[in-house]
Amino acid sequence: MPDCTVVVITYNDARRLPRAVRSVLGQTLRDLEVIISDDASTDDTPRVAAELAASDPRVRYLRREHNSGGCGAPRNDGLDAAAAPYVMFLDSDDELPRHACKSLLAEIERTGAEFVSGQISRLYEWNGRLHPYYPSLFARRRVVGGIREEPALFLDSFSTNKLYDVRFLRETGVRFPEEIHYEDHVFAAGLYAHARRFAIVPWVVYHWHRERGGSSISLSIKDMENVRHRVIAARRSDDVLRRHGLAGLVPDRQYRFLRQDLRVYLNPLPRRDLVWAKEFAAVVRPYLEEIPAEVYERVDPMVKVCCRLIMDDRAEDLRLAAGCLTGPRAAPRAAVQLGGRTYWGTTVSPGLDITRLRLAELPFSAARLRHEVTELTRDGDRVRMTVHTYDPFGALPVGWEAFLRLGRRRVPIHPRPSGDGGYVTEVAFAPEGACEPRIGFTRLSDRLTTTDRLIVDPAMRPIELPGGTLAPEGHTACLRVRRPARRPALLGRVKRLLIRRIGTPATKLRAYKLLIKVVRPRPDLALFESDVGKGCTGSPRALYEELRRRGLPIEAVWSVARGKAPDGARRVRRGSWKYVWTLARAGWWVDSHGFPLDYPKPRGTRYLQTWHGQGIKSIGFDAPDLRTDFDGPRAQWRAAVARWDALVSPSAEFSRRFVPSNGYTGPVYRYGTPRCDALVRGELSDDPRRLLELPAGKKVLLYAPTYRDRAKGSGRSVRADLELMAEELAGDWVVILRTHPVERYRPPEHLLHFVRPAGTYPEINDLMLVSDALLTDYSSVMCDYAITGKPMLFLVDDWDEYRTTERGVYHDLPAIAPGPCVTTTEELIARLRDLDAGHAAHAGRYAAFRELWCADERGDASARIVTDFFVRSPA
């Protein structure tokens, strides 16, 4: 008896059947049987199947006499014929990854489950990419004691990504219905209704092949019959649950219908014609009307709006609303604001309430406008375009100017009032390379700009121009310019290839090492860098400004990854050949992190290391990246530190910790921190209130969490529940969210009325000066902030983990924190409401904290260090 039976169903698919069968025969589990269950194909399938059976004794061929029209009957045939104790199902156009059978078999034997379900993944055949289906459902490997424990699993209603205990299926009589499509939805409902114990595994066990413009049943979504079947399957699935005493779970299954089944048709709806939309609405309407109101409150408000429009038979509006579901989620043409609530369209109804999206409260620079291209024609090498702009939330002020943005280019435009509250623009332009055209409005009162994409007719034919091809993109049909499909000239290709070959980091380093042997550093050239080229800020910037102020005869070059250098300085791109040259030529190096670690310092160059913060976190050889099992990074850092000629130390505490933990032995400047001079003097470098649109009358909370060493770039350092904070505090507070430079996080649109993302805001000092309080966890920003004397709060929910395994610390933060330490957002909200009392209660600690870290800050650090380093010391 084989360990596992795999039933491969097929109908007129002789071309792909061998691929599917071979994916089973090539499994790491060898002891299995393949049953090809043929739904009476009329093509070459019998011959192909016979060949497969002849080639391997593990293959059996079953054939129905009459075509059943679906997948249910052949699957049932295969199930009845299965000889093994476990069974899997495979469609002839798909494949099993090679460990699928053995891994699921081992799991079902280990857990004693009734079935095991694994990750199903779409495989796009045109680029070979895998796209997993709802990976969060499968992320944890686990045993589930019945669907009641996790009703979210209704989203997994496939029959193919599972291995079943055959005896369980036979005893419970769970089978596939034979007269409808989406038989697996009903099958899955039966499965979930009966199963007491099933297992979930996180790895991919099924490759669901997708061809461009594929034609398998589940994809022919244009077919109205298909919609009908899906609704019937949904009803029958609900009935299965009710029959088995699980009526309480029906809303969860209906939620799945709204979130998944309906979206399959809603997403591409803007591309369908009106007749189709109307008929579609008629088909799904009766089922939607049965779904209780609370289920609609669980889904995306725009899905709810679409359902309302379906029920109200407003097909035209439905197509518009469906365009707000995907991609950039286009703004509506109109919205009504009444009694503090916002409604989609021009009528007020609870089903059209989109207040939760907070679109009407966005700050101007994030405001949503709708730009519909009503005409687009070719005119020689250019296009002429007419755009209708809608301002549904009344975001545009009285005075503005407008432009069309094409990549880096801006074309001024002159929108005229259209008479319906919107604007009409006529513009002609020639694209120059790939871009996503946007229309921008700049407010004259404060020069802030808001931009939004252009929406075109989804049926528009691409317009090919020498400078690029204009075409609609995505279901929403945003206008996009693609690169002209031209082959670059041979010379250009050779040049690019050479540059790529020669321009590797390794060759640059080799060239540099040669270079510093032959050229001498210039005593009148200084190279500045801060944040590894991420900005022109921090102590290097303060020192640079001081250098300029004094007019010292030293030319300054800034190393920047992206963006501009400060006025009066030349810019080199970090990592470029020019950068390599400047490193070799500069007689002065000033930075706050470390110039490329493998680059030895040229003889005669003087290197001032300013560092970029002080605080409780472990550092240098005590920090996790240098405590690994490899010796390489430690040796590299030792050599890098040996390059420093002087180090800025902000405090005695810094000298006590940082200096030995990096093995540094050279001179130390104890004059305070150049970066903090502006804080001591209270000098803003720009106008953050204007740039971040901080509303007058609201208090400003600066939220600056540090990164987590094991989750850089994950966004997981933002641990406060911003949703809850917005709900509770948005009336009085606005939050400036300053994430760490190595972190990546973008707040969702519906929080932008409350949160101002400022991760890339050029100068953090300005944010500190403009704020009323600081919220952080373990960031060094707390030491700088103490200079301001303003209240601080600490969200330390992962303190023990951070202290022991994540990073390691030198101080017991909860014991020395100059403000309340909290572990939940609820507690945080309570403390913010009672900010002054908490601040007053921590006055003693605040003073001690300042004494420890900020005693040397007098506002003249830049001046004294420039004197000592650039003027007194010989270059």
Partner 1 sequence: MNVVFACLDADTLGGIQQVTHTLAQGLAGRGHEVHVIGLHRSETPFRYVERPRYHRHLVSRAPVGPRGRLARRRDRRRVRDLLGGMRPGYAVLTSPSVVSRLAGLLPERLRAIGQYHGSYEHASGSWHLGSIRKHYPGLEQAVFLSEDDAWRFSEGALLPNAWALPNPLATWPDRVSSLTGPRVLGVGRLEGVKRFDRLISAFARSGAPPPWELHLIGDGAELDRLRAHAAREGVAERVVFRGRVPAGEMPGEYRAASLLAVSSEHEGLPVVLLEAAAHGVPAVAFDVSGGVRSARPVLVPPGDVDALAERLGRLIRSEHERRRLGAAARERAEAFRLDRVLDRWEALFTHLDR
Structure-token pair, residue 485: 């499909």
DSSP-assigned letters across all residues of 384-400: EEEEEEE-TT----SSE
Q: Collapsing DSSP states into helix, strand and coil, what is residue 283?
A: helix
Residue 513 engages partner 1 in binding (rule: CB under 8 A): no
Nearer CB in complex with partner 1: 140/410: 140
Q: Residues 442, 449: contact at Cβ < 8 Å?
A: yes
Separation CA 282–CA 244 (nearest Å): 30
> Of residues 99, 197, 689, 864, which one binds partner 1 by CB under 8 A?
99
- Window contacting partner 1 (CB under 8 A); options: 77-85, 101-109, 280-288, 593-601: 101-109
* 676-735 binders of partner 1 (CB under 8 A): 709-710
Q: Collapsing DSSP states into helix, strand and coil, what is residue 23?
A: helix
Q: CB 222 → partner 1: shortest distance, Å? A: 34
* 167-226 binders of partner 1 (CB under 8 A): 201-205
Q: CB 34 → partner 1: shortest distance, Å? A: 16
> Of residues 805, 812, 840, 855, which one binds partner 1 by CB under 8 A?
805
Q: 763: left (phi > 0), else alpha (psi -120 to 50), else beta? A: beta
Give me the count of residues in the chain.
875
Q: CB 616 → partner 1: shortest distance, Å? A: 14
Residue 22 engages partner 1 in binding (rule: CB under 8 A): no
Q: Residues 6, 24: contact at Cβ < 8 Å?
A: yes
Residues 6+ apart with CB under 8 A from 398: none
DSSP-assigned letters across all residues of 573-632: ETTSHHHHHHHHHEEEEEESS-S-TT-PPPTT-EEEE--S--SSB--GGGSGGGSSS-SH
Pairing mode of beta strands 646-648, 668-669? parallel
Report which of 333, 345, 372, 381 is spatially closest to residue 458, judged by C-alpha positions: 372
> Of residues 211, 800, 826, 834, which one binds partner 1 by CB under 8 A?
800
> Of residues 248, 466, 568, 624, which one binds partner 1 by CB under 8 A?
624
Residue 634 engages partner 1 in binding (rule: CB under 8 A): yes
Q: CB 695 → partner 1: shortest distance, Å? A: 42
Q: CB 130 → partner 1: shortest distance, Å? A: 11
Q: CB 484 → partner 1: shortest distance, Å? A: 35
* 739-778 binders of partner 1 (CB under 8 A): none
Q: CB 148 → partner 1: shortest distance, Å? A: 24
Separation CA 476–CA 323 (nearest Å): 5
Q: Name 9's bridge partners.
A: 37, 91
Q: CB 116 → partner 1: shortest distance, Å? A: 11
Kindly tell me the sign of the dihedral angle through the C-alpha atoms of 847, 852, 853, 857: positive
Separation CA 757–CA 737 (nearest Å): 5
Residue 374 engages partner 1 in binding (rule: CB under 8 A): no
Separation CA 116–CA 168 (nearest Å): 12
> Of residues 19, 63, 102, 698, which one binds partner 1 by CB under 8 A?
102
Residue 85 engages partner 1 in binding (rule: CB under 8 A): no
Q: Residues 154, 193: contact at Cβ < 8 Å?
A: no
Residue 804 engages partner 1 in binding (rule: CB under 8 A): yes
> Of residues 30, 378, 562, 746, which one binds partner 1 by CB under 8 A?
30
> Of residues 28, 377, 445, 873, which one binds partner 1 by CB under 8 A?
28
Q: CB 349 → partner 1: shortest distance, Å? A: 45
> Of residues 14, 19, 31, 668, which one binds partner 1 by CB under 8 A?
31
Residues 6+ apart with CB under 8 A from 518: none
Residue 160 engages partner 1 in binding (rule: CB under 8 A): no
Structure-token pair, residue 786: 């103490």
Kindly compute the dihedral angle of the four CA atoms of residues 412, 417, 418, 423, in this order, to the nearest 10 degrees. 40
Separation CA 531–CA 760 (nearest Å): 11
Count of residues near partner 1 by CB under 8 A: 38
Separation CA 157–CA 117 (nearest Å): 10
> Of residues 50, 139, 502, 855, which one binds partner 1 by CB under 8 A?
139
Residue 838 engages partner 1 in binding (rule: CB under 8 A): no
Residue 621 engages partner 1 in binding (rule: CB under 8 A): yes
User: Within 13 Å and on the Cβ side, how many CA atoms surround 699?
Assistant: 15
- Window contacting partner 1 (CB under 8 A); options: 95-103, 147-155, 259-267, 474-482: 95-103
- Window contacting partner 1 (CB under 8 A); options: 42-50, 545-553, 619-627, 760-768: 619-627
Q: CB 37 → partner 1: shortest distance, Å? A: 25
Pairing mode of beta strands 570-573, 423-429? unpaired
- Window contacting partner 1 (CB under 8 A); options: 25-33, 308-316, 401-409, 864-872: 25-33
Residue 108 engages partner 1 in binding (rule: CB under 8 A): no
- Window contacting partner 1 (CB under 8 A); options: 179-187, 734-742, 787-795, 803-811: 803-811
Burial class (CB in 10 A: 0-12, 13-18, 19+), 633: middle
> Of residues 553, 629, 697, 815, which one binds partner 1 by CB under 8 A?
629
Separation CA 201–CA 852 (nearest Å): 51
Residue 534 engages partner 1 in binding (rule: CB under 8 A): no
Report which of 196, 47, 31 is spatially closest to residue 105, judged by C-alpha positions: 31
Kindly tell me the sign of the dihedral angle through the C-alpha atoms of 812, 817, 820, 825: negative
* 34-73 binders of partner 1 (CB under 8 A): none
Structure-token pair, residue 364: 């101007």
Nearer CB in complex with partner 1: 573/710: 710
> Of residues 689, 808, 823, 867, which one binds partner 1 by CB under 8 A?
808
Contacts with partner 1, 376-395, as mask; x by CB under 8 A: --------------------
Separation CA 648–CA 610 (nearest Å): 5
Structure-token pair, residue 91: 């469609």
Q: Collapsing DSSP states into helix, strand and coil, what is residue 204?
A: strand
Q: CB 715 → partner 1: shortest distance, Å? A: 17
Q: CB 702 → partner 1: shortest distance, Å? A: 30
Separation CA 646–CA 872 (nearest Å): 13
* 587-606 binders of partner 1 (CB under 8 A): none
- Window contacting partner 1 (CB under 8 A); options: 60-68, 231-239, 323-331, 623-631: 623-631
Residue 662 engages partner 1 in binding (rule: CB under 8 A): no
Q: CB 49 → partner 1: shortest distance, Å? A: 26
Nearer CB in complex with partner 1: 202/523: 202
Q: Which residue has the tokens 């286009």?
A: 330
> Of residues 627, 656, 681, 690, which one binds partner 1 by CB under 8 A?
627
Q: Which residue has the tokens 């000098």?
A: 683
> Of residues 15, 141, 148, 549, which one binds partner 1 by CB under 8 A?
141
Nearer CB in complex with partner 1: 212/501: 501
Structure-token pair, residue 840: 């007053």
Structure-token pair, residue 34: 């393949």
> Residue 763 is which amino acid?
E
Nearer CB in complex with partner 1: 206/607: 206
Q: Residues interacting with partner 1, by CB under 8 A?
A: 3, 28-31, 97, 99-100, 102-103, 106, 118-119, 139-141, 201-205, 621-622, 624, 626-631, 634, 709-710, 800, 803-805, 808
